[in-house]
Structure 1
Amino acid sequence: MSAPALTRPTAPPRPAEPHAGLPANAIGRRKSTLEIVTLYTFVVVPFVALAAVVPAVWGWGLSWLDVGLAVGFYFFSLLGVTVGYHRYFTHGSFKAARPLRLGLAVAGSMAVQGPVVQWVADHRRHHAFSDREGDPHSPWRYGTDARALVKGMFHAHLGWLFERRKTSQERYAPDLLKDAGLVGIGRTFVVWAALSVFLPAVIGGLVTQSWAGAWTAFFWAGLVRIGLLHHVTWSINSVCHVVGNRPFASRDRATNFWPLAILSAGESWHNLHHADPTCARHGVLRGQVDISARVIWAFEKLGWARNVKWPDPVRLAAKRREPATVAG
C-alpha cells in the first residue's frame, strides 16, 4: 500500500477563525474556569501517562490482565464515540432502540471527550463549515505554508478544545436537548469519566488481590488508554484533513489515512464520510476495514438498530473521483 500523501489545496484558503461568519446564535455560553481546569486535567494527565509508557515498562511489568483491560476499555469507549456520538447521534446513520441509545451515550461519555450533546453540537458545526470560516478545528485555519500548517495542525488536534466560547447546543443539537435521558447523562458526565478512569483499577485490584495490580491497571487501562484514545480521535480532526488520499469528491480537504483505520475503528476513512456524511459505513472500498460499521451491522441483526443507511452504489459512483484527480 502506498504511503499517504500530503494534500495540497489549489488556492490559499481564507483564514478559518472559529467564530467568523457564524450566526449570532451559533455560539453558546463561555466555559467556566472549573470547566477549563477539568479539561486541562483530562487532556494533560493521560498525555503525560502516555509519554511515560517507556520508562514505566522498564520499571515494572505489564501483565496480560492490564493488556486485556486496556484493549477492552479502549474499544468499548471508542465505539461509544464512533458508533454512538458520531454516526448515530450526530449524523443519524441508523435508528436505535431506547436502551441502545442511552447505552451509546454512556459508552461515549467514558471516552472522556465531553458530554454527548456538546460533542454533537461541535461536530455538526464542523460539518457545516468544514475547512472554512467557522470550522472549530480546521488545520488550514492559518494558511497553507509550512509554519501556518504546523500551527493549524496543533489547533485542529487539541488547541481548539481550549476555546473559551462553546458551540451553541440550542442551534446545532436541539433534537438531543429534547431527550431528558441524554441531558441527564450529560449532566453526570464527570461520573462516567471517573468510572472510565478508575474502574480498571478496581477490576485489576480485585482480580490480583493486590494494590500493585490495581495501580498497573489504573496506569495502563485508565490513563494510557485514555491518552491513546484522545490522540487517535483528535488525529481525525488534524491528520485526516491534511495527509492521505481523496478517492471521493467532497467540498473540503477530508482524507483517508489508512494507518489509523484499526485504532480509530474505521473513522480514518474520513474522505468518504465527508463526501456522504450520513452513511453508516466509512470504509467502502476494497480492503478498508471499518470496525464501527461491523458493530452497527451486528446491532441491526440483533434488532437493536433499524433503518441503517448503508452505502448506495449509485451515490458512491457519482462521488468517485477519476484516478488522475485523486490527491497526492
Structure 2
Amino acid sequence: MTRTLERPPKAAEPMLAGEKTRTENFLVKLFAVVPLLALAVAVPFAWGWGLSWTDIALATGFYFLTGLGVTIGFHRHFTHGAFKAHRALRIALATTGSMAMQGPVIGWVADHRRHHAYADRDGDPHSPWRYGTTPTALAKGFWHAHLGWLFDRQKTNAQRFAPDLLTDRDITRINTWFPALTVLTLLAPALIGGLITLSWWGALTAFFWAGLVRVALLHHVTWSVNSLCHMIGERPYAARDKSTNFWPLAIASMGESWHNSHHADPTGARHGVRRGQLDMSARLIWAFEKLGWATDVRWPKPDRLDRKLNPGHHPAHRGRATRPEGG
C-alpha cells in the first residue's frame, strides 16, 4: 500500500542534514542491539543465580535517574521549554539524560521537535502509520516507530530544529561528551556493585543488570511512547495526530505515556492532567519549582484543555488536576 501521510509545506531550512556516517550508524545499532540481547538472556541468567538485591537497587536507581533526565530534561525542558532551569539543573538534566544512551542531547531534541512538527505525517521520523492502515502495514509501521527508525541513515537538521541548543556552550559541550557518558552509565553501576559486595562477581552482575538490562528496559519504554502511544489507548483530546494515552506505561515512562494529553498541550509541564494520572516527572518539576531551581513553569490550564475535548469525554477536574497534588 502506498504511504498515506500528509506532506507538510516546505520550510527555509532543510529538514534533513545528510546521512549518518558508517561509524555513527554502527554505534546506533550497537547501543540498541547489545542491551536488547542482554534483556533477552536476563530471565535464564537470573534463574537461581546472578541477581541480588544490590543489583535490583542499582538498576532501579539508575533507571529513574537517567529516565528522568530524558523525561524532564531532554523532553519537557530542552525540547518544549515547559520550564526554565537554573544553570546547574540544566547541566545535570542534560548529563543524566545523555546517560540513558538514547543519543546526544541536541540530536534527541532535534528529532523530537521534528516529530511534533510533522506528527503522523510525512516527515515524522517515527510514525507507526507511515505505511498505511492494513494489518501488514501497521505491523511494519510498529517496527519502524519502535526501533527501525533508529537505523535510518538520514539525520535531522539540528540547525533547523534545535538552533537554540547549538549556541549554548554548556549543552554543546555535554553533547560532545556523549561517548564518555555512555561508558560512565555502564561502568558506574559495576564500580558501585563491586565496592558494595567487595567482589568481581558483584561488579559483573551489577554491570549486567544495572547497566545493560536497565538501558534496554528504558529504551523500550521510551520507544513504546513512539509506537504504542500512537496506536492504542484513549484519545480524550483533539490533536492533529493519532497520539493516545496508554495508562499501563504511566509509571515506567515516568508520566510520558499520557501522550495524547501531551500532544494536545505540548509545552505543558504536566502530561497526566487528570486526577489519578500518575506523572512523577511533573511531581519532580513541582519540587524543583518549590526549591527555586525551576521557574516559569507552564502548568496546563483546565479551560484550554477543555476546549480541546473530543466528543464523549468529560472535562478534567479543576484546580489541582493540572498540577501535582500539593501544588
- TM-score (ref. length: structure 2): 0.93
- Partner residue in 1 for 2:31: 42
- Partner residue in 2 for 1:213: 202
CA distance in 2, matches of 1:135, 1:181: 28
Shift in alpha-carbon separation, 1:170–1:224, aligned structure 2, 3 A? same
CA displacement 1:123-153 (0-9 Å, x = unmatched): 0000000000111100000000100000000
- Partner residue in 2 for 1:173: 162
Shift of 1:16: 4.0
The answer to whether residue 231 in structure 2 is matched with residue 242 in structure 1 is: yes
CA displacement 1:286-310 (0-9 Å, x = unmatched): 2100010001001001100000000
Question: What SS does the aligned partner of 1:99 have?
Answer: helix
The 5-angstrom pairing of residues 115-154 of structure 1 reads 115-154=104-143
Q: Is the 8 A contact 1:85 1:104 kept in 2?
A: yes
The answer to whether residue 258 in structure 2 is matched with residue 269 in structure 1 is: yes
The 5-angstrom pairing of residues 1-328 of structure 1 reads 14-16=3-5, 23=11, 25-58=14-47, 60-323=49-312
Query: Gapped runs of 5+ residues in structure 2?
Result: 315-327
Shift of 1:228: 0.2
CA distance in 2, matches of 1:262, 1:22: 38
Residue identity (%)? 61
Q: What one-letter code is carried by the residue in structure 2 that aligns with 1:269? A: W
CA distance in 1, matches of 2:265, 2:290: 23
CA distance in 1, matches of 2:107, 2:186: 21
CA distance in 1, matches of 2:38, 2:56: 15
Q: Is the 8 A contact 1:13 1:144 kept in 2?
A: no
Q: Is the 8 A contact 1:139 1:153 kept in 2?
A: yes
Q: What one-letter code is carried by the residue in structure 1 that aligns with 2:36? A: F
Q: Is the 8 A contact 2:247 2:258 kept in 1?
A: yes
- Partner residue in 1 for 2:318: none
Question: What SS does the aligned partner of 1:294 have?
Answer: helix
Moved over 6 A (4+): none
Question: What SS does the aligned partner of 1:141 have?
Answer: coil
- Partner residue in 1 for 2:325: none
- Partner residue in 2 for 1:5: none
Aligned-residue Cα RMSD (Å) equals 1.8
CA distance in 2, matches of 1:30, 1:176: 21
Q: What one-letter code is carried by the residue in structure 2 that aligns with 1:155? A: H
CA distance in 2, matches of 1:142, 1:190: 34
Question: What SS does the aligned partner of 2:17 have?
Answer: strand
Q: Is the 8 A contact 2:236 2:313 kept in 1?
A: no
The total of aligned residue pairs comes to: 314
Q: What one-letter code is carried by the residue in structure 1 that aligns with 2:21? A: S
Question: What SS does the aligned partner of 2:254 have?
Answer: coil
CA distance in 1, matches of 2:275, 2:85: 28
Shift of 1:15: 3.2
CA distance in 2, matches of 1:301, 1:152: 42
CA displacement 1:212-252 (0-9 Å, x = unmatched): 10011001000000000000000000000000010111110
CA distance in 2, matches of 1:256, 1:160: 22
Shift of 1:255: 0.1
CA displacement 1:244-284 (0-9 Å, x = unmatched): 01011111000000000000000000000000000000001
Q: Is the 8 A contact 1:16 1:135 kept in 2?
A: no
